[in-house]
């Protein structure tokens, strides 16, 4: 009687552990999938892999440019920002090219070096862009990233998607997959052992 209860309790425990393990495996698969469709494309597009030294040629503020997120909207007065254009000498190759803040800037607005993150207050945005321009004039030489294949001519100042970042994104789902598989294997081993001991018990009497 007691033995039967114990066996049922053990079975229930095993089923729960198995569900947990399978759930963890499924969850990690979903995480891999999301990383695959959201983060990986950004990293793949990031061709600016080599570091070099850039020398400022000129940094000029052009006409006010529409916020690219808001293109086609009716109200033309909101969300404009001064467009800072920066040209640098990629000293390694002696080429004069356009400089952008990050990989995202190139995608969103290839006219300007910088896209302000918050555009609601125009005078604040204007001040920010002015500060950036002054900084360039103060520090004329700085490190930058370029595409070694030269398919992409422009250079960027800051990499948002370095390759190390991608492997870091895979750490959590991989840990979860490993944990889930470990639980499943342990349950299977314990089931195997209990079957083995049960048959041994039966043969011994
Ligand atoms: C760019 O830098 C290289 C190396 O410092 C130099 O030889 C070249 O004259 C520069 N080009 C321009 C346009 O300033």
- Give the mean pLDDT of 96-108: 92
Name the pLDDT band for 176 (thresholds 50, 70, 90): very high
Q: Is residue 25 part of a domain?
A: no
Distance (angstroms) between ligand 1 centre and the Cα of 113 equals 21
C-beta 96 within 6 A of ligand 1 = yes
Both 169 and 148 in one domain: the answer is no
Q: Which residue has the higher pLDDT, 191 or 69?
A: 191
E strand intervals along the chain: 50-66, 80-90, 95-100, 141-146, 155-156
Both 77 and 156 in one domain: the answer is yes
Name the pLDDT band for 79 (thresholds 50, 70, 90): low
pLDDT at 174: 96
Asked if pLDDT for residue 7 goes beyond 80, the answer is: no
Residue 54: closest CA among 91, 85, 29: 91
Pairing of strands 141-146, 80-90: unpaired
Contacts of 54 (CB under 8 A, 6+ apart): 88, 89, 90, 91, 99, 141, 142, 143, 144, 155
Ligand 1 nearest-atom number relative to CA 89? 1
Q: Is residue 129 part of a domain?
A: yes
Q: Is residue 26 part of a domain?
A: no
Asked if pLDDT for residue 144 goes beyond 90, the answer is: yes
Q: Is residue 16 part of a domain?
A: no
Distance (angstroms) between ligand 1 centre and the Cα of 98 equals 15
Asked if pLDDT for residue 78 goes beyond 80, the answer is: no
CA dist 150 and 137 (Å) reads 27
Atom 5 of ligand 1, residue of closest alpha carbon: 91
C-beta 89 within 6 A of ligand 1 = yes
Q: Is residue 21 part of a domain?
A: no
Range of the domain at 178: 163-191
Both 115 and 175 in one domain: the answer is no
Both 124 and 180 in one domain: the answer is no
Asked if pLDDT for residue 159 goes beyond 60, the answer is: yes
Ligand 1 nearest-atom number relative to CA 96? 13
Both 92 and 186 in one domain: the answer is no
Tokens of 38: 């959201």
- Give the mean pLDDT of 51-73: 76
Both 108 and 150 in one domain: the answer is yes
Q: Is residue 85 part of a domain?
A: yes
- Give the mean pLDDT of 187-197: 89
Of 3-17, 35-49, 51-65, 107-121, the poorest mean pLDDT is in: 3-17
Of 14-23, 43-52, 85-94, the poorest mean pLDDT is in: 43-52
Both 84 and 173 in one domain: the answer is no
3-state DSSP assignment of residue 2: helix
Both 171 and 117 in one domain: the answer is no
Q: 38 vs 33, 35, 131, 139, CA distance in Å?
A: 9, 5, 33, 35
Q: What is the mean pLDDT of the chain?
A: 87
Asked if pLDDT for residue 70 goes beyond 60, the answer is: no
Both 56 and 143 in one domain: the answer is yes
Name the pLDDT band for 130 (thresholds 50, 70, 90): very high
* Domain count along the chain: 2
Q: Is residue 71 part of a domain?
A: yes
Both 148 and 86 in one domain: the answer is yes
Both 149 and 177 in one domain: the answer is no
Q: Is residue 14 part of a domain?
A: no
Asked if pLDDT for residue 77 goes beyond 70, the answer is: no
Distance (angstroms) between ligand 1 centre and the Cα of 196 equals 78
Both 130 and 185 in one domain: the answer is no
């Amino acid at each position: 009687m007691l033995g039967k209860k114990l066996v049922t309790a053990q079975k229930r425990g095993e089923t729960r552990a198995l569900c947990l393990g399978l759930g963890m495996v499924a969850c990690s698969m979903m995480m891999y999938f999301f990383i695959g469709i959201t983060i990986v494309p950004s990293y793949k597009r990031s061709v600016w892999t080599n570091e070099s030294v850039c020398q400022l040629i000129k940094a000029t503020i052009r006409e006010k440019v529409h916020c690219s997120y808001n293109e086609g909207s009716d109200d033309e007065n909101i969300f404009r920002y001064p467009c800072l254009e920066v040209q640098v000498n990629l000293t390694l190759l002696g080429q004069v090219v356009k400089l952008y803040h990050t990989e995202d800037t190139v995608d969103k607005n290839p006219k300007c070096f910088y896209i302000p993150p918050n555009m609601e207050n125009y005078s604040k945005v204007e001040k920010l862009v002015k500060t950036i321009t002054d900084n360039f004039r103060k520090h004329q030489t700085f490190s930058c990233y370029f595409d070694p294949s030269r398919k992409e001519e422009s250079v960027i100042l800051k990499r948002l998607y370095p390759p190390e970042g991608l492997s870091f994104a895979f750490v959590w789902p991989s840990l979860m997959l490993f944990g889930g598989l470990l639980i499943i294997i342990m349950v299977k081993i314990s089931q195997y052992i209990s079957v083995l001991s049960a048959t041994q018990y039966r043969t011994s009497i």
